[in-house]
A and B are shown apart, each in its own frame.
Chain A
Amino acid sequence: DAKTTQPPSMDCAEGRAANLPCNHSTISGNEYVYWYRQIHSQGPQYIIHGLKNNETNEMASLIITEDRKSSTLILPHATLRDTAVYYCIVTYNNAGNMLTFGGGTRLMVKP
């Protein structure tokens, strides 16, 4: 799997958009970008994934650059419950495929 680079931590004000960047410059053509998050002392939770088009669901939006070397996860209106570690993972689109977790970004949403 290709390696990803994320900032170790970010702060965001409650109610504002949280934009979490991820670099994956060595991504291959068949690899997808997945985002998971882990709230303290819980198992990771799937957020969203995409190949090359931007994606949106009820939780977040995923913006992937045209060259696919980076992406941004957007939480449009962050709440205190969004405080978590967010992991950007590049992997093949295979259900249940084992995931290689990097350091992630610790997002702190502040009132």
Chain B
Amino acid sequence: GAVVSQHPSWVICKSGTSVKIECRSLDFQATTMFWYRQFPKQSLMLMATSNEGSKATYEQGVEKDKFLINHASLTLSTLTVTSAHPEDSSFYICSAGVGGWTTEAFFGQGTRLTVV
């Protein structure tokens, strides 16, 4: 199946700093990618839809100025958590679909962010 790769797998940062998470589709092109956030013992919550070459669409309650999304190419979307605070500590996951004959979504392995 198609492969979606996230980097880094985990990161620890200090409060007030920014962290960038990359999501790559390794063997297919993805015009749309999705970013999810998952707090401990909770389900995945969609944060935003990342569209190649255009602005991301954010879900209600997600601050677009805090969670910057860039989808500059068909194989790369980035999520930057700006001025991170401890409450931003979470598991961030991206996904993408191939389109055409296959219909499932492929997920990255996730990035665990810890803000200290």
B46-68 with Cβ < 8 A to chain A: 46, 49
Name A1-54 residues within 8 Å CB distance of B: 32, 34, 36, 38, 41-46, 49
Give the distance in Å from the alpha carbon of A79 to the alpha carbon of B14 in the complex: 40
Q: Which residue in chain A gives the minimum CB-CB distance to B35? A: A98
Residue of B nearest to A93 (CB): B103
The number of chain B residues with a CB under 8 A from chain A is: 31
Contact size class for A?
Answer: 20 to 34
Known: A100-B46, A103-B43. A43 touches B108 (CB 8 A): yes
Binding site secondary structure of chain A: loop
Q: Is the CB of A96 within 8 A of B46?
A: no
Chain A positions within 8 Å of B106 at CB level: 46
Q: Is B89 an interface residue (CB 8 A)?
A: no
Q: Which of B97, B99, B107 contacts A43 (CB 8 A)?
A: B107
